[in-house]
Copies of this chain bind each other. A is one copy, B any other.
Amino acid sequence: MFAATPKPPYYAVIFTSVRTQGDNGYDDMAERMVALAAQQPGFLGVESAREEIGITVSYWESLEAIKNWREHTEHTIARQQGREKWYEDFRVRICKVEREYGI
């Protein structure tokens, strides 16, 4: 249910977004991007929920792993389509996770 992340430090990308109306291929692409991200070196997990806004947090071993995923060709094309048709607006925040604890 939660991403099974290791002992910190590691990195998180907090992606918050507001969708446009209609699917327009979004669900298929989102599913594909999660599957593709999970194959990348340094990927640690992902957590996602959407109501008024969507929040997706992906976790990574290093800033280099985040950069490599950002530069992945298929992901770059998907991001371009995201800006053009799927998202009204979004924010991306790159973070270093310093501490983690559970229940």
Binding site for B on A (CB under 8 A): 1-2, 5, 8, 12, 14, 16, 18, 47-55, 57, 83, 87, 89-103
Contact = CB atoms under 8 A, between A and B. Distances in A.
Given A52-B1, A57-B55, A91-B2, A47 B100 contact: no
Given A95-B95, A95-B98, A2 B89 contact: yes
A34 B57 CA distance: 21
Tell me the interface secondary structure of chain A in the complex.
strand
Contacts of A50: 49, 51
Nearest to A5: B93
Given A49-B53, A53-B2, A55-B47, A100 B89 contact: no
Contact of A55 (B5, B49, B94, B96): B49
